[in-house]
Amino acid sequence: LSAMAAEASGDATATRAAYTAMLSVPELKLAGLKGLVQLAQSQGDKAEAVKLAGDAYNQPRPAMWAFETLFEARLEAGEWSEALGLIDGALSRKLISPIFSERAKASLMAASAAALETSDDAQALDYAVRAAKLQPQFTPAAVIAARLLVKTGKAGRAEDVLEAAWAAAPHPALWLAYRDLISDETPRERARRLQGLIDRNNSHRESRILRLEQALLTGVKADIAAAMDALEPDTADDVVTKRVCAAMARGAQGLQDIDAARTWFAQAALAKSEPEWSDIDAEGRAFAYGSQDWSNLILTFAAKAVLPHPRFERGEKGLPELPELTSRYVPSMPFIKAATRRPNAPPQPDDPGAFDGAITGQDLDAEEADALPKPRPVRKARAPKAVK
């Protein structure tokens, strides 16, 4: 009560003294440590808060708040290895569930792989492959693992990792990584290979989009039209996105329907963007995040099994969602069909009757001239009556 009263009055010295006094009473020690941690945090003393939380975590019956304080501090500092050790200890003490532990470890190992990718390929590869196996739906792990496997000449294994991830949770970064596994192949060979990814999760929206990309590779108009028809449910006003509009625009271009392509471009201007597409930056790198973004990814995925989208939330540029509309002039569908004239010489200024012939249809084919309305006969002017 003394601590609460001192805290309410804003007296930091009395608050610290009251909470410190509680440390000598076994039953009140955790409560005293929690109060001191909160006081240190309010004063911006992170080191003191972590030290006190560590004392609380090492008690015979540690509290969940102590683990959370330490875990968040490790993430904020980018200390992925220390955070992994903390997860193992919390699981053994039954502070966290096995599924939370799995998700946290997978995301932490992926973050470790990303940090080591340019300095220790072997350790980075080990982390990434283990993470992708532990939680295939954590897309960053699969993408990083595939990238490192290709680097070591194991494209076939990279393909397996990406297919397993696609089966668990399709994501645009997965098919882009899958597409680029092999560079020296024809468009038809690539289209055939992409079918292996589509088959792993055939009914998913991402597979429908990928099917259109596949059809555009082969250029078979019947396949393009069929893929566009399959995407029709994803073009409803309440669900359509810029990326879907872009796919439909590219499909229309593949069908050489420039008017439809322009319509899709116009609709894209009003459509919402896709958060998932922002996971790929403007240079085409997927999940190129700093430690703070990884910290957010780890916390959110471990707790909710969903991926946040830091770049999207900050409004940063990602990979362009819309293709370029052809810059050369392509005429649109005409509103009316022009009449075909006979290849006669143009009328001369000294031949005014020629203009009359063009107006009355005399220069048209017989069938076209008959379809024109007949001119009214010109009445002769009457002579004026004599005035009496």
Tell me the CATH number for domain 1-95.
Answer: 1.25.40.10
Distance CA 348, CA 345 (A): 9
Place of tokens 């471009």: 265
Per-residue pLDDT at 87 exceeds 80: yes
Global confidence as pTM: 0.78
Q: What is the mean pLDDT of residues 70-85?
A: 96
CATH no., domain 97-325: 1.25.40
Measured CA to CA, the distance from residue 32 to residue 222 in angstroms comes to 72
184, two tokens: 């020296």
3-state SS of the chain: helix, strand, coil percent to 5? Answer: 65, 0, 35
Q: What pLDDT shows up at residue 226?
A: 98
Q: Is there a shared CATH topology between the 1-95 domain and the 97-325 domain?
A: yes
Residue pLDDT, tens place only, 94-139: 999 999 999 999 999 999 999 999 899 899 999 999 999 999 999 9
Q: Is a pLDDT exceeding 60 seen at residue 23?
A: yes
Q: CA–CA separation, 20 vs 238, rounded Å? A: 57
Q: Among candidates 110, 116, 101, which has minimal Cα distance to 133?
A: 110
Give the per-residue pLDDT at 256. 94
Distance between CA 40 and CA 48 in Å, rounded? Answer: 6
- CA distance readout (Å), 281 to 139, 180, 272, 322: 15, 16, 18, 14
Structure tokens that stand for 6 in this block: 């001192």
Domain ranges within the chain, ordered by starting residue:
1-95, 97-325
Residue 368 CB burial class (10 angstroms; 0-12, 13-18, ≥19): middle
Beta bridge partners of 318: 281
Mean of pLDDT values over 36-41: 89
pLDDT for 146 beyond 90: yes
